[in-house]
Amino acid sequence: MEVKESKRINAEDLYELKSVVDPQVNGIGQECLYVLTSICKETDKYYSNIFHKNLNTLETSQWTFGKDRNHSPRWSPNGEQVVFISNRSGKNQLFLLSKKGGEAKQLTYLVNGVSNPVWSPDGKEIAFQSNFKTGETVADKESKKEDKEDNLTALEVTNMKYKSDGKGFWDGSYDHIAVIDIESGNMEQLTTGDNNYYLQSWSPDGQYIAISADQNKEKDFSFISDIYLYNRKEKNWKRITESNGNYGKVTWTPDSKRIGLIGSDREYENATLSKLWVYDLESDFLQCLTPEWDVNVGDYAIGDFQQGVVTPGMLWGEDNESFTFLASDHGNTVVYFGNISGAIYPSLIDNQHVYGLSTGGSLKKAVVAISTPTHPGDLYTLDLETGEIQQITEVNKEFAESHAFSEAEPLQFASRDGWELHGWLMKPQGFKEGEKYPLVLEIHGGPHAMYANSYFHEFQTLASNGFAVLFINPRGSHGYGQQFVDAVRGDYGGKDYEDIMDAVDYCLETFNFIDSSRLGVTGGSYGGFMTNWIVGHTDRFKAAVTQRSISNWISFYGVSDIGYYFADWQIKADLNDIETLWKHSPLTYVKNIKTPLLILHGEKDYRCPIEQAEQLFIALKIQKKETKFVRFPESNHELSRSGKPALRIERLNYINNWFLEYV
C-alpha cells in the first residue's frame, strides 16, 4: 500500500485552517455551543458560525449559516433560547434563536452596534453594551443606507488618551450599558454621561448588575478599573473595590451572596500578577484569596491563530464555595480548582494551552478548548474530579491528516546569573540525523506575555522551510512568578537580552544539528524592540526581521497610544530623562548593525507607530546598510493575529523569504 508523503505547512494554509473558540455549556451540562471561524478566500474575510454539540451523544449540528460573523452565543437560563451577536445587518446586533430551530430574530438595531450579551436570571431581559456619542441613545437606530461620502472635519484634541490601536482616533463616544425587554423590545439605558462603563454579569437573584468603570476625573493619569453593583430595583450604585487597581471577570455564586473577581492592586504597574478576589455582600468585605500564590491568574499565552478567544473568570460550583479557573504557569495554561478557604490545586495540568473553559454551573464536568504546538485547537470534555479528558471536535481533521507538524521540544536551562529559563526548540521538517540546519530565534511581544505549548502558524511555516525554531520566555515574561515578570522593568536590553543569548548558546552547545553560522532572529512589538537591540549589539545573526517594533523611546513617548505612561512604567524614565530613554533605544546603536534587516510594519499601528520603523529604515539606509522596509496598508498592531488574511499571509512569506535568502 502506497503511503502519501505529508504536505509541509505554508503561509497560505491559513485559508484552510479553522479556529474553534468560546465553548458555552448549558445549565444542566448536557449541551455545548461554540464558535467556528474560517476565512473566505474569495472575499478575503473571516466568517464565524455557531455550532451545537450534544455532550451525551456527541452529535454536532450547525445553528447559524452564511459568511457573516456570528459569535458570542449565550444560553437563556432555561436553556431553550440562545442570544448571539451577528453583523449580518451591517453592524453587530443581538439576535435571538430558539433551540427548536427556525429563523433568528433580530433584537437590536442600534446605530453603533452592540456587544457582550448577558441574560437576566428570569430570561425576560438581556443586558448588553453599546457605544454612544453625545446626544445618542438606545433610541437611535442603525442606518440601513451607508453614507459613502467622507465628511472631513478637524479633530480637536484635549486629552492624551485620544487614540488607541485598533480603534483609531477617539470620536467622542463612550461605552454604555442597556437592557432590552425581549417580549416588548423596550430598552432601558442604565449608564449615561462622559465615562466608559463595561458590562460584567447579572446576579442570579436578579437584584444586581455588575459593571466595571474608571470614574476618576483625570483619565489621562488613571489606569484603574473598579467594580460597581447597580441595584436594578432601587436604581443606585455601590462601588466594591477601592480605586487602587484593575479588576474584572465578575462572577456570582449561585446564591448571589458572593462575587468572584480577577485583578490586582497594580503594585508593579502592568507587570503585576492577577489574583483571585472574593467579595462577600453580607459583610461588605473584599478579600484576596491568593496573596502569596506566585502564579498569574488568566490566560497570557501568545499565539497567532485563534479568533475571538474568551477567557472566563472564576466559575462557581453548586456549593457556593468552590470554583474553577485558568492560570498561566511555566508555558502552560492550567485548569485549577479552588475554594474560599484558600485551597488551590490543578484539575488539568499538561503541556498544552487551555484557551477556553465552560462548566454550565457544575464542577463535575467542563468543556475546555485546548491547543498544542502541533494541534491548532479543539474542544474536549473534562472530568473536573478525575482530570480525564475526551476530544469532542475535530475541526481540522483533514488538514492534520495530510500535513506534517513540527514538534516543540521543551528546554530548561540556567541563565548566566543562575535564573531558571524555559523555552522550546522545533526541529525542521525533513530532519535527518548528521545534517546541519539553520536556526531562527523568535521573541514574543509584551514583554509581559508568555510563549506556551500552543499552535503558532508562523513557527510551523519556518520549520516547513527547513529552519529549526527557538522560542523562549526571557525575564519579563508571565508564567514564572512576580519577580521574574517584573525584572525587565528598567532593564530593557539588559538581563532580558542576556537570557535570550544564553538560550541561543545553550542550543548550540546541546544540539549538534544547528549550524552556528546560519542564525536568524525575529520578533514583534517588544520582540521587535529586542530584534533591533540584538542586531545593534552582536553580528552573530546572518539575518533579522523586525516587526511592529520600537526603535526610539524618545519619540515613542509622544506618538504611541500608550507611550507617555508605558515608557515610564517599563523604561522608568520620561522626557525629563532623555539620556535614559536614548540609552535604551535601539536607534542609538544603529551604526553597529551589520545584519541584513527586514522591517515590517502596519500603516495604522498606533501602539508602535510606523514612524518607529521609518526612523530605523532611514538610519540604516543612510549608512548603506542592507535593509528593506515593508508597509502593510490599513493594518494595526494586531496584523499577525487578526489582520486582513491576505496581508497576514504576505507577512509570513516576507519573513520566510528573507531568511531563505540571507540565512
CB distance 507 to 411 below 8 Å: yes
**Secondary structure of 240-269 in the HEC alphabet?**
CCCCCCEEEEEEECCCCCEEEEEEECCCCH
Is position 76 annotated as part of the catalytic site? no
The strand pair at 408-414 and 420-426 is best described as: antiparallel
What is the three-class DSSP state of 221? Answer: helix
In single-letter form, the type of residue at position 661 comes to E
* Best CA proximity match to 52, nearest among 38, 66, 69, 64: 64
Kindly report the backbone phi and psi dihedral angles of residue 592, in degrees, each rounded to the nearest multiple of 5, phi listed first: -85, -10
User: String of b and e for 394-421 (b: at least 16 CB within 10 Å)?
Assistant: ebbeebbeebbbbebeebebebeeebeb
Cα first-last separation, the chain: 39
Q: What is the DSSP letter of 397?
A: H
CA distance 227 to 247: 7
Q: Which three cell numbers stand for residue 109?
A: 438595531
Set 274, 454, 464, 525: catalytic member: 525
List the beta strands (DSSP E) in 223-364: 226-231, 236-239, 246-252, 258-264, 275-280, 285-288, 296-297, 315-316, 322-329, 332-339, 344-348, 353-358
CB distance 352 to 332 below 8 Å: yes
List the beta strands (DSSP E) in 416-467: 420-426, 437-443
Q: What is the DSSP letter of 427?
A: P
Is position 256 annotated as part of the catalytic site? no
CA distance 85 to 67: 14
* Best CA proximity match to 75, nearest among 125, 21, 118: 118
In degrees to the nearest 10, what's the CA dihedral of 394, 400, 402, 404? -170
* Best CA proximity match to 656, nearest among 404, 464, 470, 406: 464
CB distance 382 to 401 below 8 Å: no
CB distance 476 to 446 below 8 Å: yes
Set 176, 371, 637, 640: catalytic member: 637
* Best CA proximity match to 18, nearest among 445, 369, 541: 369
List the beta strands (DSSP E) in 393-467: 403-404, 408-414, 420-426, 437-443
Q: What is the DSSP letter of 155?
A: P
Please list the active-site residues.
525, 637
